[in-house]
Chains A and B, each alone.
Chain A
Amino acid sequence: MMKLSMFRLSYWNRRGISFKSSPSLDPTFDGKSPSSVFWLVIHALCCLISLILGFRFSHLVLFFLFSTSVTNLYTTTPFLSVGNGGGVSQLLRLKPLETANSTAAKKNNSRVVVGRHGIRIRPWPHPNPIEVLRAHQLLSRVQKEQKSIYGVRSPKTVIVVTPTYVRTFQALHLTGVMHSLMLVPYDLVWIVVEAGGVTNETASFIAKSGLKTIHLGFDQKMPNTWEDRHKLETKMRLHALRMVREKKLDGIVMFADDSNMHSMELFDEIQIVKWVGALSVGILAHSGNADELSSSLLKNQQGKQPLMPIQGPSCDSSDKLVGWHVFNTQPYAKKTAVYVDEKAAVMPSKMEWSGFVLNSRLLWKESVDDKPAWVKDVHLLDDNGEEIDSPLSLVKDPSMVEPLGSCGRRVLLWWLRVEARADSKFPPGWIINSPLEITVPSKRTPWPDSSSELLVAIKEAKNSQSGTERRPTKAKGSKSKSSKGKQEPKTFDGVNTSTSS
Chain B
Amino acid sequence: MKLWSWVLIFIVCNLTFSTISAFRLSRSQPTERISGSAGDVLEDDPVGRLKVFVYELPSKYNKKILQKDPRCLNHMFAAEIYMQRFLLSSPVRTLNPEEADWFYVPVYTTCDLTPNGLPLPFKSPRMMRSAIQLIASNWPYWNRTEGADHFFVVPHDFGACFHYQEEKAIGRGILTLLQRATLVQTFGQRNHVCLKEGSITVPPYAPPQKMQSHLIPEKTPRSIFVYFRGLFYDVGNDPEGGYYARGARAAVWENFKDNPLFDISTEHPTTYYEDMQRAIFCLCPLGWAPWSPRLVEAVIFGCIPVIIADDIVLPFADAIPWEEIGVFVDEKDVPYLDTILTSIPPEVILRKQRLLANPSMKQAMLFPQPAQPGDAFHQVLNGLARKLPHEKSVYLRPGEKLLNWTAGPVADLKPW
Residues of A in contact with B (beta carbons under 8 Å apart): 1-2, 4-6, 8, 10, 15, 18, 20-21, 73, 75, 80, 82-87, 89, 108-112, 114-122, 125-128, 131-132, 134-135, 137-139, 141-143, 145-147, 149-151
Q: A108-B191, A119-B251, A134-B343 are in contact. Are A142 and B240 (CB under 8 A)?
A: no
Closest CB in chain B relative to A25 CB, distance in Å: 11
Residue B259, interface by CB 8 Å: yes
- Do B191 and A82 touch across chains, with their CB atoms under 8 A apart? yes
- Do B342 and A138 touch across chains, with their CB atoms under 8 A apart? yes
Q: A119-B250, A121-B254, A142-B222 are in contact. Are A110 and B190 (CB under 8 A)?
A: yes
The residues of A that contact B258 with a CB separation of less than 8 Å are 126-127
- Do B218 and A10 touch across chains, with their CB atoms under 8 A apart? no
Q: A5-B241, A126-B258 are in contact. Are A143 and B221 (CB under 8 A)?
A: yes
Q: A122-B335, A128-B339 are in contact. Are A135 and B255 (CB under 8 A)?
A: no
- Do A87 and B350 touch across chains, with their CB atoms under 8 A apart? no
The residues of B that contact A141 with a CB separation of less than 8 Å are 346, 349-350
Task: Give Cα distance in the complex from A431 to B346, angstroms.
Answer: 45
- Do B335 and A116 touch across chains, with their CB atoms under 8 A apart? no
A-B contact pairs, 17 of them (CB 8 A): A1-B240, A15-B167, A80-B167, A83-B193, A110-B190, A110-B311, A111-B311, A116-B247, A118-B247, A119-B241, A119-B251, A128-B339, A135-B261, A138-B344, A138-B346, A142-B222, A150-B29
- Do A131 and B338 touch across chains, with their CB atoms under 8 A apart? yes
| CB-contact partner of B255 in A2, A87, A122, under 8 A | A122
Residue B341, interface by CB 8 Å: yes
Closest CB in chain A relative to B46 CB, distance in Å: 32
Residue B256, interface by CB 8 Å: yes
Task: Give Cα distance in the complex from A316 to B342, angstroms.
Answer: 49
Task: Give Cα distance in the complex from A134 to B261, angstroms.
Answer: 11
Task: Give Cα distance in the complex from A112 to B191, angstroms.
Answer: 9
- Do B342 and A117 touch across chains, with their CB atoms under 8 A apart? no
Number of A-B residue pairs, CB cutoff 8 Å, is 153
Closest CB in chain A relative to B282 CB, distance in Å: 14
Task: Give Cα distance in the complex from A377 to B29, angstroms.
Answer: 41
- Do B240 and A5 touch across chains, with their CB atoms under 8 A apart? yes
Task: Give Cα distance in the complex from A486 to B282, angstroms.
Answer: 46
| Residue on A nearest B334 in the bound complex, by CB | A120
Size category of the binding interface on chain B? 35 or more
Residue B386, interface by CB 8 Å: no
| CB-contact partner of A116 in B166, B222, B242, B260, under 8 A | B242
The residues of A that contact B217 with a CB separation of less than 8 Å are 150
- Do A142 and B353 touch across chains, with their CB atoms under 8 A apart? yes
| Residue on B nearest A113 in the bound complex, by CB | B246
Q: A15-B167, A120-B332 are in contact. Are A110 and B192 (CB under 8 A)?
A: yes
Residue B28, interface by CB 8 Å: yes
| CB-contact partner of A120 in B166, B251, B259, B346, under 8 A | B251
The residues of A that contact B335 with a CB separation of less than 8 Å are 73, 120-122, 125
Most buried by A among B258, B259, B353: B259
Most buried by B among A75, A108, A134: A134
- Do A116 and B243 touch across chains, with their CB atoms under 8 A apart? yes
- Do B246 and A117 touch across chains, with their CB atoms under 8 A apart? yes
- Do B167 and A87 touch across chains, with their CB atoms under 8 A apart? yes
Most buried by B among A6, A75, A115: A115
Task: Give Cα distance in the complex from A82 to B311, angstroms.
Answer: 12
| Residue on A nearest B261 in the bound complex, by CB | A135
Residue B164, interface by CB 8 Å: no
Query: For residues 90 through 144 of chain B, which have their beta carbon under 8 Å from a beta carbon of chain A?
Result: none
14 additional contacts (CB under 8 A) given A84-B193, A120-B247, A131-B261:
A82-B170, A111-B310, A114-B170, A116-B243, A116-B247, A117-B331, A119-B254, A126-B259, A138-B225, A139-B222, A141-B346, A142-B353, A147-B219, A149-B30
The residues of A that contact B18 with a CB separation of less than 8 Å are none
Task: Give Cα distance in the complex from A147 to B221, angstroms.
Answer: 8
Task: Give Cα distance in the complex from A83 to B189, angstroms.
Answer: 12
| Residue on B nearest A152 in the bound complex, by CB | B219
Residue B416, interface by CB 8 Å: no
| Residue on A nearest B280 in the bound complex, by CB | A142
Most buried by B among A21, A87, A115, A117: A117
- Do A119 and B247 touch across chains, with their CB atoms under 8 A apart? yes
The residues of B that contact A2 with a CB separation of less than 8 Å are 254
Interface readout for B220-249 with A: 1 if CB under 8 Å, 0 if not? 011101000000000000011111001110
| CB-contact partner of A134 in B166, B255, B342, under 8 A | B342
- Do B241 and A132 touch across chains, with their CB atoms under 8 A apart? no
Interface readout for B338-366 with A: 1 if CB under 8 Å, 0 if not? 11011110100110010000000000000
Residue B336, interface by CB 8 Å: yes
The residues of B that contact A119 with a CB separation of less than 8 Å are 241-242, 247, 250-251, 254
- Do A8 and B310 touch across chains, with their CB atoms under 8 A apart? no
The residues of A that contact B173 with a CB separation of less than 8 Å are 86
Interface readout for B164-208 with A: 1 if CB under 8 Å, 0 if not? 001100110100000000000000011111000000000000000
Task: Give Cα distance in the complex from A210 to B213, angstroms.
Answer: 44
Closest CB in chain A relative to B156 CB, distance in Å: 17
- Do B222 and A114 touch across chains, with their CB atoms under 8 A apart? no
Q: Considering the complex of A and B, which 10 residue pairs feature the smallest CB-CB distances, nearest first?
A: A150-B219, A110-B191, A122-B335, A117-B247, A116-B242, A143-B221, A134-B342, A131-B342, A141-B346, A119-B247
Q: A119-B242, A134-B343, A135-B341 are in contact. Are A82 and B192 (CB under 8 A)?
A: yes
- Do A82 and B193 touch across chains, with their CB atoms under 8 A apart? yes
Closest CB in chain B relative to A234 CB, distance in Å: 35
Closest CB in chain A relative to B410 CB, distance in Å: 14
| CB-contact partner of B346 in A5, A127, A142, under 8 A | A142
Closest CB in chain B relative to A58 CB, distance in Å: 12
Task: Give Cα distance in the complex from A21 to B171, angstroms.
Answer: 8
The residues of A that contact B221 with a CB separation of less than 8 Å are 143, 146-147
Closest CB in chain B relative to A86 CB, distance in Å: 5
